[in-house]
A and B are shown apart, each in its own frame.
Chain A
Amino acid sequence: MSELELALTRIGTELEYPETPDLTAVVRRRLAEGRRPIAWRKPLVVALAVLAVAVGAVMAVPQARSEILDWFGIGAVEIRYVEDLPAVELATGDLGVGEEVSLEEARSRVRFPVRVPTLEGLEDPVVYYAEPLPTGQVSFVYGTPEKPQLLITQVAALGAYEKLVHVGSSKIEPVSVDGAQGVWVEGEHHALFYPGAEREEPFRLVGNTLVFERADGVTVRIEADVSKEEALRIAQSMR
């Protein structure tokens, strides 16, 4: 160890630390009060990647495109109402969110602030980084890879994804997250895909979804089979 390193170590013993508070008592009280559990209902469901081809084909054919009734955008997500979603074979598996990285590394790879839910009862997520867009995408997966319970994706882009929503069996409701405009999509018949990406990108059927665009231009998607209130609690706890 060099003299400089020794000097730094010595400084560590001379720093003015506040007195350590009694964390034990407070934490035990918080644990005794019990967490308010997240009301997971079932794991997220993903569809096989090959099905993206089918969706891509639907979107590419003019007469199929005419079946789109309306659309609007929330930041990176364009939401399109359609009369028919393509039939898909459901499977659990790769969420297609990229490579697992540390939170620190994810933050270092993107130029936008990556926020983490601080809601009590949520464990630290497994963090993934992907580049479906040049600006990068950071995803948090909660639960196990086999049974993901919650997927949070943050990306800074416009119109990067398309979400197809079946007009008859899924509903969309405008919401506000700390003043940010968003939508709550509820129901089983909606899907997400990457219109500008390679068609082998996974096409996903997901749980209920909260999408909102923060004031800093970051679009946040919270996908989980939870109630709107639970999703909003998660969103509002992101710091």
Chain B
Amino acid sequence: MGRPGVEGTVVGRPLTEAELVERAKRGDQDAYGDLMHAYQGIAFRTAFLLTGNAADAEDAAQSAFVKAFYALGRFRAGAELRPWLLRIVANEARNRRRSAGRRTNLALRAAAAVPSGGAAPSPESSLLDSERQSELLAAVNGLREEERDVVACRYFLELSEEETAETLGLRKGTVKSRLSRALDHLRERMEVDDV
């Protein structure tokens, strides 16, 4: 997170996230740029998972970062910045999804989607081979929106339950129950009883 102008004033030590936030709160757009650089990847992926559309995701993430800058005054010192930012991103993304009235299904990378062929998968990896991955992803795509969102945040983005709750504006208990329902539905659709 090197930024010469800042490091020049704090000799030998990059600024911490909390210090960058404090500077950004005072209107320092360079400091905010460093924060954006750190979080733009997950912000864009979050928006993409919720919209399923690259253009909407980019627009949502951009708007979220602009809104977040102006809302920094309300960010509580000592709180986790990532879920706070992601909540704004998720709101923007879902607004666009709702406005568009559609969501493109998620897909696997081409290399990952090609069946491996040849070697028989071990029993343990029965759900991990490419064909099963495609089936599982199709099942995720078929979930209700509210269940798919928690699955995407919790497993695809690997957010904690707390972060998932904050990102989606839900109570932690709601995240747990939706995840539980979503896993049940996926098990039914995959007809896998032993997972």
Contact = CB atoms under 8 A, between A and B. Distances in A.
Please say whether chains A and B are actual partners in one complex.
Answer: yes
Interface of A: 2-12, 14-18, 20-24, 26-28, 30-32, 35, 102-105, 108, 113, 115-116, 118, 120-124, 239
A30 B136 contact: no
Given A4-B183, A113-B98, A21 B127 contact: no
A24 B40 contact: yes
A141 to B, nearest CB: 13
Interface in B25-55: 29, 32-33, 36-37, 40-41, 43-45, 48-49, 54
Contacts of A102: 169-170
Chain B interface size range:
35 or more
B61 A23 contact: yes
Contacts of B140: 8, 11
A108 B29 CA distance: 37
Contacts of B168: 104
B66 interface: yes
Nearest to A2: B195
Contacts, number: 143
Contacts of B109: 14-16
B132 interface: yes
Contact of B62 (A12, A30, A121): A30
B183 A123 contact: no
B58 interface: yes
Interface of B: 29, 32-33, 36-37, 40-41, 43-45, 48-49, 54, 57-58, 61-63, 65-67, 69-71, 74, 87-88, 91-92, 95-96, 98-99, 106-110, 112, 124, 127-128, 132-133, 136-137, 140, 146, 151, 155-158, 168-170, 183, 186-187, 190, 192, 194-195
A4 to B, nearest CB: 4
A9 B124 CA distance: 15
A36 to B, nearest CB: 12
B127 A31 contact: no
A148 to B, nearest CB: 14
Contact of B57 (A8, A18, A24): A18
